[in-house]
């Protein structure tokens, strides 16, 4: 079976069958990753560049490890120590790298739409590793994989996405994916961090009271407050954000039911999530990171054309 698309630019472009194919292929790769020898020869002779124009820990290492587990050759590019710092354009940079016989591009960029622009100008397959405030498709796929691992299915699952929805590519990719797969979605947080008309545009419920959102959901996917994307303050202080919207053990205990806690990372501990929740028995944060490698192996394998 093949994906309906040459690139992975966003979940918006994927069919339900594409998502199912990626998740079932990831299940096979997760089995590989449990073996003493975690490497397969699937992408031998394929060369992949990881082009990171924005900081990353999880996504960058997860892609690099996925490529190594698939026996691909990898190049790692960080804009800060490259000729991009001397003013070289994105397109010149990528064309120069591709002329060295590189086959695939994994790209993170702070500009929304950067991978979409690139896809119109280069022949190689592109995987979006997060573009500005637009999409982070492999994060949504690994989140879905982790929820299915815990609950068996996404159909009818009640997922509350809590926090800075306005600036979150994780929120948008999760909303697209969860809707396609039949989950129920609520976004929750302060009114200044939730886009107006999101219900009309994306068909999700909105809740400004986090306790109400927790009472409703099976899963709380808690998002980072993205101060670096806020030109002006959108809430009074981090301390007050934590008091009004942060997830604490006391708050969870007051709900009186088990809620699975997710977070894409990096966590602002003591702001959106308290440490005893992030590290507690209901948290699957590190399972998400583990599953990211298998999911990225699946995406790379399916888009490689091998």
Instruction: For CA atoms 252, 258, 259, 265, give the dihedral sign.
Output: positive
Does position 174 interact with ligand CP (CB under 6 A)? The reply is no
Does position 110 interact with ligand CP (CB under 6 A)? The reply is no
- Nearest CA to 154 among 175, 171, 134? 175
Q: How many residues bind ligand CP (CB under 6 A)?
A: 10
Q: Which part of the chain contacts ligand CP (CB under 6 A), choosing from 29-37, 56-64, 203-211, 294-302? A: 56-64
Shortest Å, Cβ 156 to ligand CP: 26
Does position 59 interact with ligand CP (CB under 6 A)? The reply is yes
Among residues 113, 132, 195, 265, which is the contact residue for ligand CP, using CB under 6 A?
265
Nearest to ligand CP of 207, 297 (CB atom): 297
Among residues 47, 128, 139, 283, which is the contact residue for ligand CP, using CB under 6 A?
139
Does position 56 interact with ligand CP (CB under 6 A)? The reply is yes
Long-range contacts of 86-91 (CB under 8 A, 24+ apart): 90/53, 90/114, 90/117, 90/118, 91/118, 91/121, 91/122
Whole-angstrom distance, CA of residue 299 vs CA of residue 289: 16
Structure tokens at 128: 């979006």
Among residues 10, 130, 190, 246, which is the contact residue for ligand CP, using CB under 6 A?
130
User: What are the two backbone dihedrals, phi and then psi, of residue 265, each rounded to the nearest 5 degrees?
Assistant: 75, 155
Instruction: Give, in degrees to the nearest 5, the angle at Cα 167 between 220 and 135.
Output: 80
Structure tokens at 191: 């009114």
- Nearest CA to 20 among 134, 155, 195? 155
Does position 10 interact with ligand CP (CB under 6 A)? The reply is no
Percentages of the chain per state (helix, strand, coil), in multiples of 5: 45, 15, 40
Nearest to ligand CP of 94, 267 (CB atom): 267
Nearest to ligand CP of 115, 130 (CB atom): 130
Q: Which part of the chain contacts ligand CP (CB under 6 A), choosing from 36-44, 156-164, 246-254, 260-268? A: 260-268
- Chain residues that interact with ligand CP, rule: CB under 6 A: 56-59, 130, 136, 139, 264-266
């Amino acid at each position: 079976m093949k994906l309906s698309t040459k690139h992975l630019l966003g979940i918006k472009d994927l069919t339900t069958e594409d998502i199912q194919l990626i998740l079932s292929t990831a299940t096979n790769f997760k089995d590989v990753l449990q073996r003493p020898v975690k490497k397969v020869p699937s992408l031998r002779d394929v060369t992949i560049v990881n082009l990171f124009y924005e900081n990353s820990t999880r996504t960058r290492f997860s892609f690099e490890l996925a490529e190594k587990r698939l026996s691909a050759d990898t190049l790692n590019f960080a804009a800060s120590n490259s000729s991009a710092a001397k003013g070289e354009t994105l397109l010149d940079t990528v064309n120069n790298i591709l002329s060295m016989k590189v086959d695939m591009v994994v790209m993170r960029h702070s500009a929304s739409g950067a991978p979409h622009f690139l896809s119109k100008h280069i022949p190689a397959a592109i995987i979006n590793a997060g573009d500005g405030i637009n999409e982070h498709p492999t994060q949504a796929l690994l989140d879905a994989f982790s929820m299915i691992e815990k609950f068996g299915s996404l159909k009818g699952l009640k997922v509350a996405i809590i926090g800075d929805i306005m600036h979150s590519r994780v929120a948008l990719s999760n909303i697209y994916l969860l809707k396609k797969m039949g989950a129920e979605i609520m976004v929750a947080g302060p009114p200044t961090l939730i886009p107006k008309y999101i219900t009309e545009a994306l068909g999700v419920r909105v809740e400004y009271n986090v306790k109400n959102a927790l009472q409703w959901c099976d899963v709380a996917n808690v998002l980072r407050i993205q101060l670096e994307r806020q030109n002006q303050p959108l809430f009074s202080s981090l301390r007050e954000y934590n008091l009004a919207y942060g997830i604490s053990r006391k708050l969870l205990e007051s709900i009186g039911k088990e809620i699975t806690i997710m977070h894409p990372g990096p966590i602002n501990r003591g702001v959106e999530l308290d440490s005893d929740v992030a590290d507690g028995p209901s948290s699957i944060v590190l399972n998400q990171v583990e599953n990211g490698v298998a999911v990225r192996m699946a995406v790379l394998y399916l888009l490689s054309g091998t």
